[in-house]
Structures are given as structure tokens and as C-alpha cells.
Structure 1
């Protein structure tokens, strides 16, 4: 009797984990598509970039809203508002790159982002490894990146900007590994929060890859 109870609980846990994983990837695909559509509209209308201050306020304000509503149906609206806003900020950046003749760089950055995501997610899903050991390194990395970002606002050093892009790629890759591990091991049960974490990681990787490719292309 006790064995049956344990077995039933284990099966229930696996089903719940699979549901979170499935819902996360489904919502991630939808938000990426929505974000791309908003970016396309932003590009077509030639909308200006909102600027650093508005971007930061919008990013953290909407992120706060997502966390406050993550356990309700309003959480879905918050997620689309958040990813739509980031899609809007992408439009002017992509227009600038295309205007400089870098349309192929955008395609390369998109392809690179997809390869990184599928490779990292596939590795964790296949091996089922516990990536919680990355938590300390990611915490330290966050503060290093934050300090470097603040420093670069005043210094505006090209080398520091490139270094930051590389750090963002490494940091976001670590977040994807840890978040995927949390989902399949039952540590993350909220697919809305998991989706936002993965989306932001993909956004950072894409922007960072695009920055690196643009810089190296200009050097040539």
C-alpha cells in the first residue's frame, strides 16, 4: 500500500513537471512570435528607440508586474506586455543594423541564438543533470555585469562593450541551463516565470551576438 502511494506520488510529480515544461516551451514560442511581430511593426513604422531610461523603467516595471501576477490569469497578459515592449525596443536597433548593410548579421545572430538555446536545453533534457551548482557563479556574474554596465555608461569604451556582450552570452547561457534543470527536476513549477526567464536570456544572447558580429564586421 505504501509502495503504491509512493509510486502514485512519483508519477504525479513527473506529470506535473512535464506539464510545466510543455507549457513553458509553448508560451515561449508564442511570446517570441509576438515579440517578433511587434519588432516588425516597430521597424515598418520607423519608431524611435525609447532610450535608456524608458527602457529600464519599462523592463523592470513590466517584469515586476509579471512576478506579481504570475499565479493568476493576468500573468499571461503581463508576459505578452513585457515581451511586446522588448520587441518594440528591438525594432529601431534592427533598422539601424539593416541601414548599415548588416541584414545578414541579423540572420546570423538569430541562427546563433537558436543553436545556443537548443544545444543547452537539449543537453539538460538529455542528461537530466542538476545545474544548481551554477547558482553561485551566476549570482557573482550578475554583479560583475551590473558594475561593468554602469562603468560603460560613463566610459563608453568599445572594448568594454564587447567584453560585456561576451559576458551576457555566458551569463544567459548559464541561466538557460539552470532554469531548464529547475523545470525538469521540479524546482520551478510556474511556467510563466520560467518563460520570462528563458525569454530574457534569449533576448540578451541575440542582442549580444548582434553587437559582437557588428563590431567584428566593422573591423573588417
Structure 2
């Protein structure tokens, strides 16, 4: 049993409307560009009022990033429900490996829609950076709870932001390759050992990473 309350009819209708509006907005943004499409045009195409759009999405930018909260919620559940003996790092490693599995299986085409839209809008690029920062900040509390650390403990903040940054970096490299037209299977195969080495380094700790060698002798 998951303990989650079954979704009622009203919630299902609300979610269906939310998904339909977001899908319509992304289709229009992909076809015409984010800046060229108005919320009023999205409402007409989705068959709803402009007020309904804003009832579900506070801003136009939120239409692009719909579903981000769901992804973060799933990551938080994965951390909370990890099996005994499983480190939080292993959750992030598994998440990255799953991303590469999806790429290799050819399941990334639909997920390219948002990166393509964001690529054409500086405003969305800035919003994405803000969103990633908010996700990292939210994970700090999750890590503190998972380790029983005090609220003012610095370690959960450092570790959470480090792992969040690793996940974001891998995400960006993956989609940069896909947007550049790299073959998905070859891309996944190329990145797997690099991703494994990155997480292995994090797992081993950073104390011995990039230790400076002896200074070269000065020229006479």
C-alpha cells in the first residue's frame, strides 16, 4: 500500500485540463516561438478562457515548465523510500542512469520539446536557472531530514547542491547532444562511463581530487 488517497473525479478533471493547456502551449511555442505566442492564443487553441489558463498557471513561463514539480516530488519520494543501506547519492546515480536508458531506447524525442523552446528564449533560460536553484534549495531540507541534521547544519546544503548540480550538468550535456543531432544510442554509450566516473568520484569523496603537483622549477 502506498498510503496515497485515490484521486477524485474533480482532481482528475483539473489535472486533465492542466495537462491539455500545457500541451497546447508547448505545441504553439514549438511552432512559433515563446515570445510570439500570447496567453489569449493559447486559451483559444485549448478551448478554455484566458482566466482558466491563469487559474492553472500563474505565469506564461509556467506553461513551459509544467510538470517540474512532479519530477521534484518523485525525486523526493525516491530519497525518502530508498532501501536500507542505500545512500542518497545512489538515488541520483540511478536517476541519471535512467535518463540515459530513456535516451538509448529512443524515448527522448518528446522531452526535447521544452529544451528546444528554452533554447530560443533568454527569458526562459533565466527562468530555468531560477527553477533549478529552487529545486536544489528544496532538496537541502530533504537531505537534512534524511540524515537527522540540524536546520543550520552546512553539510546537507553542500551535499544536496553538489548532487543537484551533478544531475543538472548531466541533463544539460545529454540534451545538448540530442539537440545537436547526435545519435541517441551513441550518445548514451558515450556518456555512461563518464557519468559512472563522476558519481564514483563523488562517492569516494573529493579530498584527493585535483591535488596540485609540485611546482615546476623556475627558469633561470
The alignment's TM-score, normalised by the length of structure 2, stands at 0.31
- Larger RCO, structures 1/2 (Cα 8 Å, 6+ apart): 1
**Is the helix fraction higher in 1 or 2?**
1
Largest Rg, 1 or 2: 2
The alignment's TM-score, normalised by the length of structure 1, stands at 0.31
